[in-house]
Amino acid sequence: MKSILEKIKEQPLVFDGAMGTMLYSKGVFINRCYDELNLTSPDLVGEIHQEYRNAGADVLETNSFGANRIKLSEHGLGEKVREINVAAAKLARQYAGDKLYVAGSMGPCLKSGQILTDDRKEELAGVYREQAEALKEGGVDMILLETFSHGSELLLAAQAVSITGLPVCASFTLTEEGYTPAGESLETVISKLNESENVQMIGLNCGTGPSHLYEWVVKGIAYTKKPLIVMPNAGFPKELDGRMIYLSNPEYFTKYTRKFMELGVRAIGGCCGTTPDHIKIASRAVKALSVVKKHIKIKAIIQEDENFQPVPQEEKSRLACLLKQGIKVTSVEITPPRSTDLTAFINKARICAYHGVDAINIPDGPRASARVSPMIAASVIQKEAGIEAVLHYTCRDRNLLGMQSDILGSVAAGLKNFLVITGDPPKSGDYPEVTGVFDVDSIGLTRVVHNMNYGHDFGGNPIKPPTSIFTGVGANPCAVSPELELDRYRRKIEAGAEYSITQPVFDPMALLNFMEKASAFKEIPVIAGVWPLVSFKNAEFMRNEVPGVEVPDSVMERMSRCQTREEGISEGIRIATEICETIEKHVQGFQVSAPFGKVELALKVLGKTV
């Protein structure tokens, strides 16, 4: 098995949740030494390890957070440091087997109000070495220094445990204000950890719930290139009948798990209040969002026939011709139905055609749900409604051979405009047990389509006649990693993209900044995505649940003032119209979504009288 440091750089991992919370829930009260349970109640500790393994954790933490000589001495167990830690490590290893990793958990010696003085440094270093050596003897794969309040103590501990030669994660806790309990800023602590050769991974844990911690992870991940591990509490505890209860449910916890993953966090786990239920759902999200399969490499076709000329853009489709001529285009996105009855779907497309809309965008399994095939839906509306379709085609559901067959079949059916996207993982949708394929991502598939336009499949075999697809790609101006998004956008253009459609834009300046930076590449027409909000609840959903969409506070505030459904719809249309007016001179068209299938709202944004 690869080292945990190699693995965590290769794919995101899931750590387990709270040990103390689970022991408490099973009747072990806080006056007990939880670390001693490794010796006196190993079956109970092992039961919790098994529950976290069953929940989908990749890493089990040892029950040894307070098992150092100083803390154990408070319980009269100072001479059992080695025995307790070896037992803790062996227990976790027993349930981890040879497929999961084991992290040796070590907490601080100092309390948040104490100060690390020079005369105690040698003592504390010895305490940390003693515990770490015992954990290594028991078989851990890494040392996890967690919930530290003092950066200086954390650095001292990291240096002391480095004697084991094991990878070290140095994790500290923050208040709501973004400072350690000892008063150090996030940037200060991470800066010190960056410089330490004894620290291979950096962590943020405990302190606050996932929503508060998210704000600091956004900043913290920009400060370091070392893998970042995040383990928030389940929320703030509330005392109920003498017990401390955490009110954050697993679904709420998992919502932020997805957000942490989008930021680039390399491992997710849980601290106080989290349970196997939290880890089970979070694990599904992590595994769905971390496609580790190596994509098939798609080579650009070298054209041997100098006389061969692909179909010019203006001849590919009406939409392509309009964009080539510099005419602004309009499109409305309509989702295929969850029914075999396409009557209402076709009628919506007819209404759009009647009002002069240039194209209908057909999403492919939006948010990974099962609907009528977008290829069938697109073909039907072109024939029945007399309006061009833009077919969203994802890399999720089919292998590369199947995708090529679909593309050829779609072209044969008269479809000419494609939007190539990677697609939402199915586990982020309605079917948590379904797996995605992802032979290629959107960059690779764009190159496949480009090659087919030049008369070859991905293996170099001839396609006669060649396709004449107008190839579009997605763009996300509000990506959490702007540099990565710009790099991917450049590579899509190099792969053969001829136009782009953005995610729904709620912050016009973000789009304009993105386009300014992208102007350094070969410029292609940009069609701005626009979504007319219908309520504050809809705004919250877009902000929190739709990957790649950022709804600014100013928009949230405006929608929050709406008291009725009608006010919400009117304000949403007003906001969308203002966005269009702000960016109109900078884009080549608009793609307006029809929220909940209401095309009249999209048409109003486009200035059409319905």
Q: Which residue has the higher pLDDT, 371 or 204?
A: 204
Q: Is the peptide bond before 465 cis (omega within 30 degrees of 0)?
A: yes
Q: What is the mean predicted confidence (pLDDT) over 578-607?
A: 95
Cα–Cα distance between 554 and 561 in angstroms, integer? 11
Cα–Cα distance between 161 and 136 in angstroms, integer? 10
Q: How would you list the strands of the sheet with 13-14, edge to edge?
A: 13-14, 267-268, 228-231, 201-205, 168-172, 142-148, 101-106, 59-61
Fill in the amino acid letter for 335: T
Query: What is the structure's pLDDT at 259?
Result: 81
Model confidence at 301, pLDDT cuts 50, 70, 90, reads low
Query: What is the structure's pLDDT at 377?
Result: 94
Nearest to 69 by CA among 115, 18, 129: 129
Cα–Cα distance between 52 and 549 in angstroms, integer? 32
DSSP 506: S
pLDDT in tens, 457-497: 888 888 989 999 999 999 999 876 677 789 999 999 999 99
Q: What is the mean predicted confidence (pLDDT) over 533-547?
A: 85
**Domains detected in the chain:** 4-289 (3.20.20.330), 321-533+588-605 (3.20.20.220)
Q: Which residue has the higher pLDDT, 116 or 63?
A: 63
Of these ranges, 24-38, 188-202, 222-236, the one predicted with the greatest mean pLDDT is: 188-202
Cα–Cα distance between 307 and 110 in angstroms, integer? 77
Query: What is the structure's pLDDT at 432?
Result: 46
| 426 contacts 396 by C-beta, under 8 angstroms | yes
Question: Across all residues in the chain, what is the average pLDDT?
Answer: 89
Q: What is the mean predicted confidence (pLDDT) over 283-305?
A: 66
- Can you give the C-alpha Rg of the chain in angstroms? 28
Inter-axis angle of helices 250-263 and 210-220, nearest 10: 10
Q: What is the mean predicted confidence (pLDDT) over 67-91?
A: 96
Give the alpha-carbon dihedral of 427, 432, 437, 438, to 10 degrees.
Answer: 10
For residue 146, CA distances in Å to 66, 342, 476, 532 come to 11, 56, 35, 45
Phi and psi for 171 in degrees, rounded to 5? -120, 135
- Quickly count: other Cβ atoms within 10 Å of residue 243's Cβ: 12
Q: Over 70: is that where the pLDDT of 293 sits?
A: no
Per-residue tokens: 600: 């009249």
Alpha helices by DSSP H, listed for 474-591, are 482-495, 508-518, 536-545, 553-560, 565-583
Q: Over 70: is that where the pLDDT of 295 sits?
A: no
pLDDT above 90: percentage of residues in the chain: 66
| 384 contacts 346 by C-beta, under 8 angstroms | yes
